[in-house]
Amino acid sequence: MSAAAPSGPGAEVPLLELRGVTAGYGRIQVLHGVDLVVPRGEVVALLGPNGAGKTTTLLVATGQHPVSSGCVHVAGRHVNGVRAEELARLGLCTIPEGRGVFRSLTVRENLRMASYRGVDESLLVERAVARFPRLGERLGQVAGTLSGGEQQMLAMARGLATDPALLIIDELSMGLAPLIVAELYELVAGIAREGVSILVVEQFARTVLGVADRAVIMQHGQVVAAGVPADLEAELSAAYLGASP
């Protein structure tokens, strides 16, 4: 799946690569050898039905869940066992499932938290407000009182203000109105055009496929198909509906 030998120093090395990753909870194994690649500057959609192992894959990739076997590489470096906060400080930005905001902190304090990733605090607010003017009006408001869409915006604003190398988004659309989802995905496309590599995990395939450069379909803890979205129609139906391709 990945390019075998690099032609220059790190030129072809994907930003994120999972290789034969297995992981589980207690005695139950959830991932059975997952291979996944996010090449530089691309948007990759990770799709699959409920219980396919998407979220576990994401947890493993972001250092939130231990790997039983296999390796996780970030920009070619082996990062098994590196803690989530350390990966975050490297430049891996994760927006977790269901509104990644600190609900009891104000908008400004939420933005401020990103300064642990090494960006100056005032710069953070400036960048976030430049991207989402609506947040500028609510800097003093407690994040838990924002609307769902605004919370998702805040989570993205906080992530993007740190200039991440890789953005990982889990279930962006969860619990949001379709209009807002469309708006948010437009934003994702815009970010991608700036050169940020993005891994989007989604249960509902259609929304994300318009934005993704490539898609990976998971089922039963394994990758069953990967490629350009247009080529994956048949596999998608199979994965979601159980029909054979």
Partner 1 sequence: MNDLLSLLVLGLASAAIYAVAASGLVVTYTTSGIFNFAHGAVAMVSAFVYWQLSSPDAWGLPVPVALVLTLFVFAPGLGWGIDRLLMRRLHDASPMIRIVVPIGLLVALIQVATVIWPPGELTASVPLFFAGRSVELGGVVIEYHQLVVFAAAIAVAIGLRILLYGTRIGVAMRAVVDSRELAALNGVSPDRVSGLAWALGCSLAALAGILVAPILKLDQTQLTLLVINAYAVAMVGRLRSLPMAAVGAVILGLSREAASRYDESLPFWITKDTVPALMLFVVLLVVPQEKASVFRDQPDRSSVPDPSWRTVVLGCIGLVVAALVVPAVFEGRTLDAVGYGMALSIVALSLVPLTGFAGQISLAPLAFAGIGAVVMYRWGSDGNPLALVAVVALCAAVGALVALPALRLKGLYLALSTFAFALFCEKAVFPNVDEFSQGDASYERLHLGPWTAASDRSYLVLLTVAFVVLALGVTALRRGPMGRRLQAMKDSPAACATMGLDLTALKLEVFALSAAIAGLGGALLGGWRGKLGTEQFSLLAGALPGLPLVLLTVVGGIAAVSGALVGGLALAMFPEIAEAVPALANLMTVLPGLAGISLAANPDGAVAQTVAQVGAAIERLRGQAPPRDTGPARALALLAPAAPSMVPERIAVGASAAGVDLAAVDDETGLAWGRCRVDP
Q: Applying CB under 8 A, which residues contact partner 1?
A: 2-6, 9-13, 15, 17, 19-20, 27, 40, 62, 64, 67-71, 73-86, 88-94, 96, 100-105, 109, 112-118, 121, 158, 163-166
Residue 156: count other Cβ atoms within 10 Å of its Cβ. Answer: 23
- What residue spans of the chain are helical by DSSP H? 54-61, 84-90, 107-113, 121-131, 133-136, 148-160, 178-193, 205-209, 233-241
Tokens of 4: 């075998």
Nearer to partner 1, 18 or 232 (CB): 18
Report whether 232 contacts 77 (CB < 8 A). Answer: no
Task: Quote the least distance from Cβ 209 to partner 1, whole Å.
Answer: 26
Nearer to partner 1, 105 or 182 (CB): 105
Nearer to partner 1, 166 or 236 (CB): 166
Which of 12, 30, 34, 2 lies closest to 21 in space, CA to CA?
34
Report whether 235 contacts 49 (CB < 8 A). Answer: no
Nearer to partner 1, 22 or 203 (CB): 22
Q: What's the 3-state SS for 10-58?
A: CCCCCCEEEEEEEEEECCEEEEEEEEEEECCCCEEEEECCCCCCHHHHH
Task: Quote the least distance from Cβ 81 to partner 1, whole Å.
Answer: 7
Nearer to partner 1, 27 or 206 (CB): 27
Task: Quote the least distance from Cβ 205 to partner 1, whole Å.
Answer: 25
Task: Quote the least distance from Cβ 202 to partner 1, whole Å.
Answer: 19
Give every CB contact of residue 208 below 8 A, 6+ residues apart in sequence: 45, 47, 172, 185, 200, 202, 215
Task: Quote the least distance from Cβ 17 to partner 1, whole Å.
Answer: 8
Task: Quote the least distance from Cβ 244 to partner 1, whole Å.
Answer: 30
Distance CA 202, CA 54 (A): 8
Nearer to partner 1, 69 or 231 (CB): 69
